[in-house]
Copies of this chain bind each other. A is one copy, B any other.
Amino acid sequence: MIDTIDHGAAVRELRLNRPPVNALSDELIRSLHQALKLAAQDGVRALVLSGSPGRFSGGLDVPLLLTLDRLRMADLWHEFYALLGAIAQSPIPIAAAITGHAPAGGTVLALFCDWRVMAEGEYRIGLNEVQVGIELPPTLMAAFRRLIGPRKSEQLAVSGELIFAEEALRIGLVDDLAPPEQVAGRALQWCQKLLALPQEAMLGTRREARLDLTALFQTNLEPELERVIASWWRPETQHTLQVLAQRLSKNKS
């Protein structure tokens, strides 16, 4: 589910590979978390998180998630938060190479990285959770707000709008654009630029600059997770997700 490509000894690319749209299943979430741990053990010094051409990640795999019982669903949310915490608190920089569409969970992964480059063109990004009946959890809201400010994050989160790459660059949701086939390469260059710097100074400054982001995961998130999990089972959410799953299933056939 994760292709590992080492670019020399220092930079490793983790490429999401779960066709057709790199939707986040419990297995993909665990695999990615595991790959992050392995990178640290292997002495990798920077990471690129990429997806497939035209598709970074379609977010949580709703049709699959609708088959899970309450226990497995609760597990999945815990694992998703653990993954986000691992990205946010990564001891080494992570560049998101957003190779294409990145709705909802696809955007969420990128929020906690250090830097984001996105495929230019008709690709969409954003937190459309509300559109599919999901209340945006506080920790995700906080990371969104950190990147684009209180005003834009409120308006985009409440309306659940997806935006195109060019607008994402304009408002600061991504930091650079590149032709789709050059997105991962651009992220690699960004990593190499950081690795050419005095490392203690760079890593210490990085730690200081990200204190507010890492702090999100250094409180007890159980109360938030309980609310997030409970809201998954609300009639409105279940109904909206079922309608979405049926539409996805029709599109496929």
- Within 8 Å of chain B (Cβ to Cβ): is A9? no
**Contacting residue for A198 out of B93, B133, B155, B201, CB 8 A:** B133
Q: In the complex, what residues of B have CB within 8 A of residue A146's CB?
A: 150-151
With A151-B147, A237-B201 known as contacts, the answer to whether A194 contacts B115 (CB < 8 A) is no
Give the interface size class of chain A.
35 or more
Pairwise interchain contact B209-A141, C-beta atoms closer than 8 A? yes
**So how many copies of this chain end up in the complex?**
3
Query: Which residue of B has the minimal Cβ distance to A138?
Result: B208
Q: Given that A160-B197, A209-B157, A237-B198 are known contacts, is A204 also in contact with B231, CB under 8 Å in the complex?
A: yes
Chain B residues, CB < 8 A from A149: 149, 172
Q: B208 to A150, Cβ gap below 8 A? A: no
A88: min CB distance to chain B, Å: 12
Chain B residues with Cβ under 8 A from A93's Cβ?
158
Given A146-B151, A158-B114, A193-B159, does the pair A136, B205 have CB atoms closer than 8 Å?
yes
Interface centre among A93, A135, A141, A237 (most CB of B within 10 A): A135
Instruction: Answer whether residue A72 sits at the interface, using C-beta atoms and an 8 A cutoff.
Output: no
Chain B residues positioned under 8 Å from A154 (CB to CB): 114, 206, 209-210
Contact of A201 among B155, B200, B201, B236 (CB under 8 A): B236
Question: Which A residues, 190 to 242, have Cβ-Cβ distances below 8 Å to chain B?
Answer: 193-194, 197-202, 204-206, 208-210, 212, 231, 234, 236-237, 240
**In the docked arrangement, what's the CA distance between A151 and B157, Å?**
18
Question: Would you call A208 and B135 a contact (CB within 8 A)?
Answer: yes
Q: B residues within 8 A CB of A197?
A: 130-131, 159-160
Interface residues in chain A, defined as those with a beta carbon under 8 Å from any beta carbon in chain B: 93, 114-115, 129-136, 138, 141, 145-155, 157-160, 172, 175, 193-194, 197-202, 204-206, 208-210, 212, 231, 234, 236-237, 240
